Amino acid sequence: MSNRVLISGIDGFTGKHLSTYLNKFGFEVYGTSLFNSSDKKYKCDITDRNQVLKILKIIKPDYLIHLSGISFAAYGNSEDFYKVNTIGTINILDAFLEAGITPKKIILASSATVYGNQGLEVLDESLCPKPANHYGASKYAMECLATGYFDKLPIIIARPFNYTGIGQAEKFLIPKIIKHFKENKKEIELGNLNVSREFNDINFVCEVYNRFLECDANSTVVNIASNRGIKLLDVIDMMNNIASYKIKVKVNPAFVRKNEIKSLTGSSKKLFNTIGSVEQCSFVQTLKKMYET
């Protein structure tokens, strides 16, 4: 039985972990990358539909996990968010139709940032999104357009909440904290320490994507969330113990947002109803792996 998975953006943090993970489950993994090509990895700019079409015709994937995009909210060029995250995704869906390929499943990675500031502690899929930045808006625009393909292709739109792991770029919060400890820095500047946010392990996310491929659901939007809130202050305490020294935390007012919600997590109810409950390691274990690597 053919089980070819195409991962767009396979060179990214999630793509690298996911390709290794799916290989263990017997999937034949292919990928696209903006910059590199090698065995089973094809150089592709998703903003060019002809490039996408050519690769789809070569691979003829049974599954697609679309991770390719600009994921750092503070990225400078706002136009690129829409060019890549929105139009790039629609290019892929159009290319499937033009090539006459109907895969068993298409997973489109959106983002929890589409929710914006709802004034609620637990965010579920019934809420009306109101993104507050170009990253979130480009992902929500993608979602809105992708729903128009629900009757033509078997699509799940995933909204991942924060997750981390080995290899995540140091511009993101958790790797930034760990880098300070690895370098034995005496001090770190952070924002509001008492806020609680969801931080999941990359392996939790990989297992969710794995189960999405084989579940019956499609034409739906699902959080990738665990409803597990972790305070930033607790992250520092965990790292103090792991690194065996205490770092001084300086609160930088520039990093503190006004009216910041104290606790913000994603509801996992729909996710676990769709694919069954997914266990993950404790966050201390995640931090320890990242620190010791």
- Specify the pTM: 0.95
- Domains parsed from the chain with CATH numbers: 4-164+199-227+265-280 (3.40.50.720)
pLDDT score for 257:
72
Rounded to whole angstroms, the Cα distance separating 116 from 128 reads 10
Provide the β-strand partners of residue 32: 8, 42
Mean pLDDT of the chain: 94
pLDDT at residue 117, as a whole number: 86
Is residue 270's pLDDT more than 70?
Answer: yes
Please report, as a single letter, which amino acid is at residue 168. Q
CA triple 94-36-17, angle to 5 deg: 85
| 270 and 223 Cβ atoms separated by less than 8 Å | yes
- pLDDT value for 70: 81
Q: At what angle do helices 232-243 and 283-292 cross, to 10 degrees?
A: 50
Alpha helices by DSSP H, 30-128: 49-59, 78-80, 88-99
Query: Which of 108, 112, 107 minimizes the C-alpha distance to 131?
Result: 112
Asked if 167 and 16 touch (Cβ cutoff 8 Å), the reply is yes
Chain centroid to Cα 145, Å, comes to: 19
Q: Are 181 and 243 in contact (CB under 8 A)?
A: yes
pLDDT at position 192: 85
- What are the pLDDT digits (tens) for 48-66? 999 999 999 999 999 999 9
- Confidence tier at 195 by pLDDT (50, 70, 90): confident
pLDDT above 90 covers a percentage of the chain that reads 85
- Provide the 3-class DSSP secondary structure of residue 256: coil
DSSP sequence for 192-247: -TT-EEE-EEHHHHHHHHHHHHHSS--SEEEEE----EEEHHHHHHHHHHHHTSPP
Specify the pLDDT at position 262.
Answer: 83
Q: What was the pLDDT predicted at 179?
A: 98
Structure confidence by residue, pLDDT tens digits, 153-181: 999 999 999 999 999 999 899 999 999 99
Render the burial of 183-196: b for 16+ CB within 10 Å, e for the rest.
eeeeebebeeeebb
Average pLDDT over residues 221-239: 96
Nearest CA among 119, 113, 120, 106 for reference residue 56: 106
- Interatomic CA distance for residues 231 and 220, integer angstroms: 31
